[in-house]
Structure 1
Amino acid sequence: MREFVFALEHESGTNPVADVLAAHPDATIRSLSCHVTEDHLWRVDHAEGSPEALEALEGAYSESSYCADCLVKDDCGADCEIKVLDRSSDTLVVYTHWDRTDVCTSVPHLALEHLGEGLLFETEREGRRYRWRIVLGNGTPIGDFVDALGEEVDDCTGLELLRLADVDPEPDAEGPLSREQRAALRAAVERGYYETPRRIDLSELAAELELPRSTLSYRLRRAEAELATTFVRGETGEALFPRL
Protein backbone atom coordinates (compact mmCIF):
# COMPACT_ATOMS: atom_id res chain seq x y z
CA MET A 1 0.00 0.00 0.00
CA ARG A 2 1.00 3.62 -0.54
CA GLU A 3 -0.13 6.92 0.92
CA PHE A 4 -0.58 10.14 -0.98
CA VAL A 5 -0.67 13.27 1.18
CA PHE A 6 -1.56 16.75 0.02
CA ALA A 7 -3.10 19.92 1.43
CA LEU A 8 -5.61 22.52 0.27
CA GLU A 9 -5.43 26.11 1.48
CA HIS A 10 -8.71 28.08 1.35
CA GLU A 11 -8.69 31.82 0.83
CA SER A 12 -10.84 34.03 3.05
CA GLY A 13 -14.52 34.00 2.17
CA THR A 14 -14.40 30.88 -0.01
CA ASN A 15 -15.23 28.23 2.61
CA PRO A 16 -17.30 28.92 5.75
CA VAL A 17 -15.72 26.12 7.81
CA ALA A 18 -12.21 27.30 6.93
CA ASP A 19 -13.21 30.86 7.87
CA VAL A 20 -14.34 29.71 11.32
CA LEU A 21 -11.16 27.67 11.87
CA ALA A 22 -9.04 30.66 10.86
CA ALA A 23 -10.92 32.85 13.35
CA HIS A 24 -10.52 30.24 16.13
CA PRO A 25 -6.92 28.90 16.12
CA ASP A 26 -7.77 26.60 19.03
CA ALA A 27 -10.21 24.58 16.89
CA THR A 28 -9.36 21.54 14.76
CA ILE A 29 -11.35 19.00 12.74
CA ARG A 30 -10.40 15.44 11.84
CA SER A 31 -12.41 12.90 9.91
CA LEU A 32 -13.69 9.81 11.68
CA SER A 33 -14.88 8.36 8.37
CA CYS A 34 -15.23 9.46 4.76
CA HIS A 35 -16.98 7.42 2.07
CA VAL A 36 -17.85 8.03 -1.56
CA THR A 37 -19.81 6.42 -4.37
CA GLU A 38 -20.33 7.73 -7.87
CA ASP A 39 -23.51 9.58 -6.77
CA HIS A 40 -23.04 10.19 -3.04
CA LEU A 41 -20.59 11.41 -0.41
CA TRP A 42 -20.97 10.99 3.33
CA ARG A 43 -18.60 11.54 6.23
CA VAL A 44 -18.34 11.97 10.00
CA ASP A 45 -16.11 14.71 11.41
CA HIS A 46 -14.84 15.24 14.95
CA ALA A 47 -14.16 18.85 15.91
CA GLU A 48 -12.42 20.09 19.05
CA GLY A 49 -12.16 23.63 20.40
CA SER A 50 -13.67 26.24 22.65
CA PRO A 51 -17.46 26.43 23.06
CA GLU A 52 -17.47 29.60 20.95
CA ALA A 53 -15.52 27.89 18.15
CA LEU A 54 -17.77 24.84 18.13
CA GLU A 55 -20.90 26.97 18.06
CA ALA A 56 -19.51 28.85 15.06
CA LEU A 57 -18.51 25.59 13.35
CA GLU A 58 -21.97 24.13 13.83
CA GLY A 59 -23.40 27.20 12.14
CA ALA A 60 -20.89 26.97 9.29
CA TYR A 61 -21.73 23.33 8.63
CA SER A 62 -25.42 24.25 8.46
CA GLU A 63 -25.06 27.11 5.98
CA SER A 64 -27.25 26.46 2.95
CA SER A 65 -24.36 27.28 0.60
CA TYR A 66 -21.98 24.79 2.26
CA CYS A 67 -21.70 21.23 0.92
CA ALA A 68 -18.90 19.25 2.58
CA ASP A 69 -15.91 18.86 0.24
CA CYS A 70 -17.74 20.03 -2.89
CA LEU A 71 -15.19 21.88 -5.04
CA VAL A 72 -17.83 23.79 -7.02
CA LYS A 73 -17.80 27.40 -5.86
CA ASP A 74 -21.24 28.31 -7.23
CA ASP A 75 -24.50 26.71 -6.10
CA CYS A 76 -24.23 23.10 -7.30
CA GLY A 77 -27.83 22.26 -6.39
CA ALA A 78 -26.88 19.26 -4.28
CA ASP A 79 -29.21 18.06 -1.51
CA CYS A 80 -27.03 18.20 1.61
CA GLU A 81 -27.99 16.60 4.95
CA ILE A 82 -26.34 17.73 8.19
CA LYS A 83 -26.75 15.97 11.57
CA VAL A 84 -25.02 16.67 14.87
CA LEU A 85 -24.26 13.25 16.36
CA ASP A 86 -22.57 14.44 19.56
CA ARG A 87 -22.06 17.77 21.27
CA SER A 88 -20.22 18.73 24.45
CA SER A 89 -18.41 21.81 25.72
CA ASP A 90 -15.24 20.98 23.77
CA THR A 91 -16.23 18.46 21.07
CA LEU A 92 -18.59 18.36 18.12
CA VAL A 93 -19.30 15.32 15.94
CA VAL A 94 -21.07 16.06 12.66
CA TYR A 95 -22.47 13.75 9.97
CA THR A 96 -22.83 15.14 6.44
CA HIS A 97 -24.25 13.54 3.32
CA TRP A 98 -25.01 14.87 -0.13
CA ASP A 99 -26.43 13.55 -3.37
CA ARG A 100 -24.23 14.46 -6.32
CA THR A 101 -25.59 16.59 -9.15
CA ASP A 102 -24.24 16.80 -12.70
CA VAL A 103 -21.90 19.64 -11.74
CA CYS A 104 -20.77 18.37 -8.32
CA THR A 105 -17.25 17.15 -7.72
CA SER A 106 -15.00 16.61 -4.71
CA VAL A 107 -11.62 15.20 -3.73
CA PRO A 108 -13.11 11.74 -2.96
CA HIS A 109 -15.08 11.72 -6.24
CA LEU A 110 -11.98 12.65 -8.25
CA ALA A 111 -10.04 9.96 -6.38
CA LEU A 112 -12.72 7.37 -7.11
CA GLU A 113 -12.69 8.29 -10.80
CA HIS A 114 -8.91 8.31 -11.28
CA LEU A 115 -7.57 5.99 -8.55
CA GLY A 116 -10.34 3.39 -8.39
CA GLU A 117 -12.21 1.78 -5.52
CA GLY A 118 -10.87 0.53 -2.20
CA LEU A 119 -9.40 3.87 -1.08
CA LEU A 120 -9.04 5.05 2.51
CA PHE A 121 -9.39 8.77 3.29
CA GLU A 122 -8.06 10.62 6.33
CA THR A 123 -8.37 14.38 6.76
CA GLU A 124 -7.27 17.07 9.22
CA ARG A 125 -8.31 20.73 9.21
CA GLU A 126 -6.65 23.58 11.07
CA GLY A 127 -7.00 27.22 10.12
CA ARG A 128 -7.40 27.49 6.36
CA ARG A 129 -5.29 24.37 5.79
CA TYR A 130 -7.09 21.16 4.83
CA ARG A 131 -4.78 18.12 4.79
CA TRP A 132 -5.76 14.92 2.94
CA ARG A 133 -4.18 11.48 3.26
CA ILE A 134 -5.31 8.83 0.76
CA VAL A 135 -4.19 5.22 1.12
CA LEU A 136 -4.17 3.37 -2.21
CA GLY A 137 -2.77 0.25 -3.81
CA ASN A 138 0.83 -0.18 -4.86
CA GLY A 139 1.46 0.84 -8.44
CA THR A 140 -1.68 2.96 -8.75
CA PRO A 141 -0.76 5.94 -10.98
CA ILE A 142 -1.68 9.29 -9.46
CA GLY A 143 -0.76 11.64 -12.32
CA ASP A 144 -4.28 11.89 -13.77
CA PHE A 145 -5.75 12.47 -10.31
CA VAL A 146 -3.29 15.27 -9.53
CA ASP A 147 -3.99 16.90 -12.91
CA ALA A 148 -7.76 16.67 -12.40
CA LEU A 149 -7.49 18.05 -8.88
CA GLY A 150 -5.39 20.95 -10.12
CA GLU A 151 -8.01 21.78 -12.72
CA GLU A 152 -10.80 21.80 -10.13
CA VAL A 153 -8.90 23.93 -7.61
CA ASP A 154 -9.35 27.56 -8.65
CA ASP A 155 -7.54 30.72 -7.60
CA CYS A 156 -9.39 30.68 -4.26
CA THR A 157 -7.80 27.41 -3.13
CA GLY A 158 -4.11 26.53 -3.04
CA LEU A 159 -2.82 23.00 -3.56
CA GLU A 160 0.38 21.61 -2.02
CA LEU A 161 1.65 18.08 -2.68
CA LEU A 162 3.33 16.76 0.47
CA ARG A 163 4.20 13.09 0.18
CA LEU A 164 3.84 9.89 -1.83
CA ALA A 165 5.33 6.95 0.04
CA ASP A 166 4.90 3.31 0.92
CA VAL A 167 2.78 2.61 3.99
CA ASP A 168 4.98 0.80 6.52
CA PRO A 169 3.09 -0.50 9.57
CA GLU A 170 6.36 -0.92 11.50
CA PRO A 171 8.55 1.94 12.75
CA ASP A 172 11.77 2.52 10.82
CA ALA A 173 15.22 2.31 12.35
CA GLU A 174 15.13 5.95 13.42
CA GLY A 175 11.83 5.80 15.30
CA PRO A 176 8.20 6.71 14.64
CA LEU A 177 8.93 10.10 13.02
CA SER A 178 8.96 10.53 9.25
CA ARG A 179 12.09 11.74 7.50
CA GLU A 180 10.49 15.16 6.95
CA GLN A 181 9.48 15.44 10.62
CA ARG A 182 12.98 14.53 11.81
CA ALA A 183 14.55 17.10 9.51
CA ALA A 184 12.18 19.84 10.67
CA LEU A 185 12.70 18.99 14.33
CA ARG A 186 16.49 18.86 13.97
CA ALA A 187 16.58 22.24 12.23
CA ALA A 188 14.29 23.77 14.88
CA VAL A 189 16.56 22.59 17.70
CA GLU A 190 19.79 23.62 15.96
CA ARG A 191 18.50 27.11 15.13
CA GLY A 192 17.14 27.78 18.62
CA TYR A 193 13.41 27.61 17.94
CA TYR A 194 12.83 25.78 21.24
CA GLU A 195 15.06 28.02 23.35
CA THR A 196 13.66 30.65 25.76
CA PRO A 197 13.67 33.25 24.40
CA ARG A 198 13.61 31.87 20.88
CA ARG A 199 16.55 32.71 18.64
CA ILE A 200 14.40 32.25 15.54
CA ASP A 201 10.67 32.34 14.87
CA LEU A 202 8.67 29.94 12.74
CA SER A 203 8.48 32.21 9.69
CA GLU A 204 12.25 32.77 9.67
CA LEU A 205 12.96 29.06 10.05
CA ALA A 206 10.51 28.20 7.26
CA ALA A 207 12.24 30.72 4.97
CA GLU A 208 15.65 29.18 5.72
CA LEU A 209 14.33 25.70 4.97
CA GLU A 210 12.50 26.97 1.85
CA LEU A 211 9.21 25.57 3.13
CA PRO A 212 5.76 27.16 3.46
CA ARG A 213 5.24 28.27 7.06
CA SER A 214 2.11 26.09 7.33
CA THR A 215 4.04 23.00 6.18
CA LEU A 216 6.81 23.50 8.73
CA SER A 217 4.26 24.16 11.49
CA TYR A 218 2.41 20.96 10.62
CA ARG A 219 5.59 18.83 10.60
CA LEU A 220 6.75 20.18 13.95
CA ARG A 221 3.35 19.66 15.56
CA ARG A 222 3.15 16.08 14.31
CA ALA A 223 6.70 15.36 15.47
CA GLU A 224 5.98 16.86 18.90
CA ALA A 225 2.80 14.79 19.18
CA GLU A 226 4.65 11.58 18.27
CA LEU A 227 7.43 12.26 20.77
CA ALA A 228 4.96 13.13 23.54
CA THR A 229 2.95 9.97 22.87
CA THR A 230 6.12 7.86 22.87
CA PHE A 231 7.21 9.38 26.19
CA VAL A 232 3.86 8.93 27.94
CA ARG A 233 3.35 5.40 26.71
CA GLY A 234 6.90 4.53 27.70
CA GLU A 235 6.26 5.77 31.23
CA THR A 236 3.03 3.80 31.53
CA GLY A 237 4.50 0.68 29.95
CA GLU A 238 2.05 0.76 27.03
CA ALA A 239 3.48 -0.50 23.75
CA LEU A 240 3.72 2.20 21.12
CA PHE A 241 3.11 -0.29 18.35
CA PRO A 242 0.85 -2.98 19.85
CA ARG A 243 0.56 -6.33 18.07
CA LEU A 244 -2.64 -6.46 16.00
Structure 2
Amino acid sequence: MREFVFALEYDPGTNPVADVLEAYPDTTVRSLSYHVTPESLWRVDHASGTAEALEALEGAYADADYFADCLVRDDCGATCETQVLDRSSDTLVVYTYWDRTESCTSVPHLALEQLGRGLLFETYREGRRHRWRIVLDDTAPIHDFFNAMGAEVGECTGIEMLRLTDVDPDGSFDADRPVDNDLPPEQLEALRAAVEYGYYETPRDIELSELAERLEIPRSTLSYRLRRAEAALATDRIADVSPLEPSPVQ
Protein backbone atom coordinates (compact mmCIF):
# COMPACT_ATOMS: atom_id res chain seq x y z
CA MET A 1 0.00 0.00 0.00
CA ARG A 2 1.04 3.57 -0.68
CA GLU A 3 -0.09 6.97 0.53
CA PHE A 4 -0.53 9.88 -1.84
CA VAL A 5 -0.67 13.34 -0.26
CA PHE A 6 -1.55 16.52 -2.13
CA ALA A 7 -3.16 19.87 -1.43
CA LEU A 8 -5.67 22.18 -3.09
CA GLU A 9 -5.48 25.94 -2.55
CA TYR A 10 -8.77 27.79 -3.18
CA ASP A 11 -8.87 31.35 -4.47
CA PRO A 12 -11.07 33.88 -2.60
CA GLY A 13 -14.75 33.56 -3.40
CA THR A 14 -14.50 30.07 -4.89
CA ASN A 15 -15.22 28.00 -1.76
CA PRO A 16 -17.37 29.23 1.18
CA VAL A 17 -15.65 26.99 3.74
CA ALA A 18 -12.20 28.16 2.63
CA ASP A 19 -13.35 31.78 2.89
CA VAL A 20 -14.41 31.24 6.52
CA LEU A 21 -11.18 29.41 7.40
CA GLU A 22 -9.20 32.26 5.88
CA ALA A 23 -11.13 34.77 7.98
CA TYR A 24 -10.49 32.72 11.16
CA PRO A 25 -6.88 31.44 10.88
CA ASP A 26 -7.03 29.42 14.12
CA THR A 27 -9.94 27.31 12.85
CA THR A 28 -9.27 23.86 11.38
CA VAL A 29 -11.40 21.10 9.85
CA ARG A 30 -10.46 17.43 9.63
CA SER A 31 -12.42 14.50 8.27
CA LEU A 32 -13.70 11.87 10.69
CA SER A 33 -15.32 9.64 8.07
CA TYR A 34 -15.38 9.66 4.27
CA HIS A 35 -17.35 7.57 1.77
CA VAL A 36 -17.92 7.78 -1.98
CA THR A 37 -19.82 5.78 -4.60
CA PRO A 38 -20.16 6.55 -8.32
CA GLU A 39 -23.52 8.21 -7.58
CA SER A 40 -22.99 9.97 -4.24
CA LEU A 41 -20.61 11.27 -1.59
CA TRP A 42 -20.93 11.65 2.17
CA ARG A 43 -18.53 12.68 4.89
CA VAL A 44 -18.34 13.72 8.56
CA ASP A 45 -16.09 16.65 9.49
CA HIS A 46 -14.75 17.79 12.85
CA ALA A 47 -14.05 21.53 13.14
CA SER A 48 -12.23 23.30 15.97
CA GLY A 49 -12.26 27.04 16.62
CA THR A 50 -13.95 29.89 18.45
CA ALA A 51 -17.73 30.06 18.82
CA GLU A 52 -17.85 32.92 16.32
CA ALA A 53 -15.77 31.00 13.77
CA LEU A 54 -17.85 27.84 14.12
CA GLU A 55 -21.07 29.79 13.64
CA ALA A 56 -19.69 31.22 10.40
CA LEU A 57 -18.45 27.77 9.37
CA GLU A 58 -21.86 26.20 10.01
CA GLY A 59 -23.38 28.85 7.75
CA ALA A 60 -20.85 28.06 5.03
CA TYR A 61 -21.72 24.36 5.15
CA ALA A 62 -25.41 25.23 4.83
CA ASP A 63 -24.78 27.56 1.88
CA ALA A 64 -27.03 26.54 -1.03
CA ASP A 65 -24.10 26.96 -3.43
CA TYR A 66 -21.72 24.75 -1.44
CA PHE A 67 -21.30 21.02 -2.09
CA ALA A 68 -18.46 19.42 -0.14
CA ASP A 69 -15.50 18.75 -2.43
CA CYS A 70 -17.44 19.38 -5.65
CA LEU A 71 -15.07 20.89 -8.22
CA VAL A 72 -17.80 22.31 -10.48
CA ARG A 73 -17.95 26.12 -10.28
CA ASP A 74 -21.45 26.54 -11.68
CA ASP A 75 -24.73 25.09 -10.41
CA CYS A 76 -24.44 21.35 -10.98
CA GLY A 77 -28.00 20.59 -9.89
CA ALA A 78 -26.98 18.22 -7.11
CA THR A 79 -29.14 17.57 -4.06
CA CYS A 80 -27.17 18.29 -0.89
CA GLU A 81 -27.95 17.58 2.76
CA THR A 82 -26.03 18.89 5.77
CA GLN A 83 -26.70 18.19 9.42
CA VAL A 84 -24.90 19.26 12.59
CA LEU A 85 -24.17 16.16 14.67
CA ASP A 86 -22.45 17.86 17.59
CA ARG A 87 -21.85 21.43 18.67
CA SER A 88 -20.00 22.98 21.62
CA SER A 89 -18.24 26.28 22.28
CA ASP A 90 -15.15 25.14 20.39
CA THR A 91 -16.21 22.06 18.36
CA LEU A 92 -18.50 21.46 15.41
CA VAL A 93 -19.22 18.07 13.84
CA VAL A 94 -21.04 18.20 10.50
CA TYR A 95 -22.46 15.47 8.27
CA THR A 96 -22.67 16.23 4.52
CA TYR A 97 -24.29 14.15 1.78
CA TRP A 98 -24.93 14.87 -1.89
CA ASP A 99 -26.21 12.95 -4.91
CA ARG A 100 -24.09 13.33 -8.02
CA THR A 101 -25.45 14.66 -11.32
CA GLU A 102 -23.93 14.30 -14.78
CA SER A 103 -22.01 17.56 -14.38
CA CYS A 104 -20.76 16.89 -10.83
CA THR A 105 -17.21 15.83 -10.10
CA SER A 106 -15.03 15.77 -7.01
CA VAL A 107 -11.65 14.57 -5.81
CA PRO A 108 -13.07 11.29 -4.42
CA HIS A 109 -15.09 10.63 -7.58
CA LEU A 110 -12.03 11.20 -9.75
CA ALA A 111 -10.05 8.92 -7.45
CA LEU A 112 -12.72 6.24 -7.71
CA GLU A 113 -12.73 6.48 -11.50
CA GLN A 114 -8.95 6.61 -11.96
CA LEU A 115 -7.63 4.58 -9.02
CA GLY A 116 -10.38 2.04 -8.39
CA ARG A 117 -12.17 0.92 -5.24
CA GLY A 118 -10.76 0.20 -1.79
CA LEU A 119 -9.39 3.73 -1.20
CA LEU A 120 -9.01 5.39 2.18
CA PHE A 121 -9.40 9.17 2.40
CA GLU A 122 -8.24 11.63 5.04
CA THR A 123 -8.48 15.42 4.74
CA TYR A 124 -7.36 18.44 6.72
CA ARG A 125 -8.31 22.06 6.08
CA GLU A 126 -6.76 25.29 7.34
CA GLY A 127 -7.07 28.66 5.65
CA ARG A 128 -7.51 28.23 1.91
CA ARG A 129 -5.52 25.00 1.93
CA HIS A 130 -7.31 21.65 1.67
CA ARG A 131 -4.90 18.74 2.12
CA TRP A 132 -5.79 15.22 1.01
CA ARG A 133 -4.25 11.88 1.92
CA ILE A 134 -5.29 8.81 -0.03
CA VAL A 135 -4.16 5.29 0.86
CA LEU A 136 -4.22 3.13 -2.25
CA ASP A 137 -2.86 0.04 -3.99
CA ASP A 138 0.80 -0.04 -5.08
CA THR A 139 -0.20 -0.40 -8.73
CA ALA A 140 -2.76 2.44 -8.86
CA PRO A 141 -2.05 4.91 -11.71
CA ILE A 142 -1.24 8.02 -9.67
CA HIS A 143 -0.19 10.19 -12.61
CA ASP A 144 -3.42 9.52 -14.50
CA PHE A 145 -5.40 10.59 -11.46
CA PHE A 146 -3.29 13.69 -10.86
CA ASN A 147 -3.58 14.75 -14.51
CA ALA A 148 -7.35 14.23 -14.46
CA MET A 149 -7.64 16.28 -11.29
CA GLY A 150 -5.53 19.07 -12.75
CA ALA A 151 -7.88 19.26 -15.71
CA GLU A 152 -10.91 19.59 -13.41
CA VAL A 153 -9.79 22.10 -10.77
CA GLY A 154 -9.40 24.96 -13.27
CA GLU A 155 -7.61 28.23 -12.71
CA CYS A 156 -9.33 29.14 -9.43
CA THR A 157 -7.72 26.34 -7.45
CA GLY A 158 -4.02 25.65 -7.04
CA ILE A 159 -2.87 22.05 -6.73
CA GLU A 160 0.35 20.79 -5.20
CA MET A 161 1.70 17.25 -4.94
CA LEU A 162 3.31 16.73 -1.52
CA ARG A 163 4.46 13.13 -1.39
CA LEU A 164 3.98 9.57 -2.58
CA THR A 165 5.40 6.96 -0.21
CA ASP A 166 4.85 3.47 1.13
CA VAL A 167 2.50 3.23 4.09
CA ASP A 168 4.41 2.89 7.35
CA PRO A 169 2.70 0.16 9.44
CA ASP A 170 4.33 1.51 12.60
CA GLY A 171 3.34 5.14 11.97
CA SER A 172 0.12 6.91 12.80
CA PHE A 173 -2.42 7.80 10.14
CA ASP A 174 -1.36 11.47 10.13
CA ALA A 175 -1.12 13.49 6.94
CA ASP A 176 1.04 16.11 8.67
CA ARG A 177 3.95 13.93 9.60
CA PRO A 178 7.21 14.40 7.71
CA VAL A 179 8.61 11.44 5.74
CA ASP A 180 11.84 9.93 7.10
CA ASN A 181 12.17 12.96 9.42
CA ASP A 182 12.56 15.28 6.40
CA LEU A 183 10.39 18.35 6.07
CA PRO A 184 8.05 18.49 3.07
CA PRO A 185 9.47 20.86 0.40
CA GLU A 186 6.89 23.61 0.97
CA GLN A 187 7.59 23.66 4.72
CA LEU A 188 11.35 23.71 4.16
CA GLU A 189 10.99 26.61 1.70
CA ALA A 190 8.87 28.58 4.18
CA LEU A 191 11.33 27.94 7.01
CA ARG A 192 14.33 28.91 4.89
CA ALA A 193 12.67 32.16 3.82
CA ALA A 194 11.70 32.96 7.41
CA VAL A 195 15.32 32.59 8.51
CA GLU A 196 16.77 34.49 5.55
CA TYR A 197 14.41 37.46 5.94
CA GLY A 198 14.85 37.67 9.71
CA TYR A 199 11.45 36.46 10.87
CA TYR A 200 13.07 34.69 13.82
CA GLU A 201 15.26 37.63 14.83
CA THR A 202 14.51 39.59 18.03
CA PRO A 203 13.05 42.03 17.22
CA ARG A 204 11.77 40.63 13.93
CA ASP A 205 13.09 42.08 10.69
CA ILE A 206 9.90 41.10 8.86
CA GLU A 207 6.31 40.35 9.84
CA LEU A 208 4.42 37.25 8.75
CA SER A 209 2.10 39.11 6.37
CA GLU A 210 5.04 40.77 4.59
CA LEU A 211 6.90 37.47 4.32
CA ALA A 212 3.77 35.87 2.86
CA GLU A 213 3.60 38.62 0.23
CA ARG A 214 7.23 38.02 -0.73
CA LEU A 215 6.53 34.29 -1.14
CA GLU A 216 3.24 35.04 -2.94
CA ILE A 217 1.18 32.73 -0.74
CA PRO A 218 -1.69 33.44 1.70
CA ARG A 219 -0.67 34.46 5.20
CA SER A 220 -2.61 31.56 6.73
CA THR A 221 -0.79 29.09 4.47
CA LEU A 222 2.61 30.43 5.49
CA SER A 223 1.62 30.37 9.16
CA TYR A 224 0.51 26.74 8.85
CA ARG A 225 3.72 25.66 7.08
CA LEU A 226 5.94 27.34 9.67
CA ARG A 227 4.01 25.83 12.57
CA ARG A 228 4.23 22.34 11.08
CA ALA A 229 7.94 22.74 10.37
CA GLU A 230 8.62 24.06 13.87
CA ALA A 231 6.65 21.20 15.43
CA ALA A 232 8.53 18.60 13.39
CA LEU A 233 11.91 20.09 14.25
CA ALA A 234 11.07 20.39 17.94
CA THR A 235 9.81 16.81 18.11
CA ASP A 236 12.90 15.51 16.32
CA ARG A 237 15.18 17.57 18.57
CA ILE A 238 13.88 16.17 21.86
CA ALA A 239 13.22 12.61 20.66
CA ASP A 240 16.30 11.27 22.44
CA VAL A 241 16.08 13.54 25.48
CA SER A 242 15.08 11.97 28.78
CA PRO A 243 11.56 12.93 29.91
CA LEU A 244 11.19 15.58 32.57
CA GLU A 245 10.98 14.35 36.13
CA PRO A 246 7.89 15.55 38.00
CA SER A 247 8.59 18.37 40.45
CA PRO A 248 8.37 17.33 44.11
CA VAL A 249 5.27 18.46 45.95
CA GLN A 250 6.07 21.29 48.36
The alignment's TM-score, normalised by the length of structure 1, stands at 0.81
Identity between Structure 1 and Structure 2 (%) = 66
Give runs of aligned pairs for residues 205-216 of structure 1, distance below 5 A.
none
Check whether the contact 2:129–2:221 (CA below 8 A) recurs between aligned residues: no
Letter in 1 for 2:229: A
Give runs of aligned pairs for residues 55-134 of structure 1, distance below 5 A.
55-134=55-134
Q: In the alignment, which residue of structure 2 is the partner of 1:142?
A: 142
Change (3 A) 1:142 1:69: same
Change (3 A) 1:141 1:218: farther
Please say if 1:221 is aligned against 2:211.
Answer: no
Deviation at 1:219, TM superposition (A): 3.9
Letter in 1 for 2:26: D
SS of match in other structure, 1:13: coil
Q: Which runs of 5+ in 2 are unaligned?
A: 172-177, 246-250
Deviation at 1:151, TM superposition (A): 1.0
Give runs of aligned pairs for residues 1-244 of structure 1, distance below 5 A.
1-170=1-170, 177-180=181-184, 183=188, 187=192, 191=196, 193-199=199-205, 217-226=223-232, 235=243
Higher mean C-alpha deviation, range 38-47 or range 176-185: 176-185
Change (3 A) 1:43 1:197: same
Letter in 2 for 1:56: A
SS of match in other structure, 2:181: coil
Distance 2:182 2:204 in 1: 25
Check whether the contact 2:18–2:127 (CA below 8 A) recurs between aligned residues: yes
Check whether the contact 1:184–1:220 (CA below 8 A) recurs between aligned residues: no
Change (3 A) 1:99 1:186: closer
Q: Which runs of 5+ in 1 are unaligned?
A: 238-244
Distance 2:16 2:32 in 1: 20
Check whether the contact 2:183–2:229 (CA below 8 A) recurs between aligned residues: no
Distance 2:27 2:138 in 1: 35
Letter in 1 for 2:50: S
Change (3 A) 1:186 1:40: closer
SS of match in other structure, 2:184: helix
Deviation at 1:139, TM superposition (A): 2.7
SS of match in other structure, 1:94: strand
Q: In the alignment, which residue of structure 2 is the partner of 1:240?
A: none
Aligned residues: 234
Check whether the contact 1:177–1:223 (CA below 8 A) recurs between aligned residues: no
Distance 1:112 1:201 in 2: 43
Distance 1:45 1:122 in 2: 10
Distance 1:36 1:212 in 2: 31
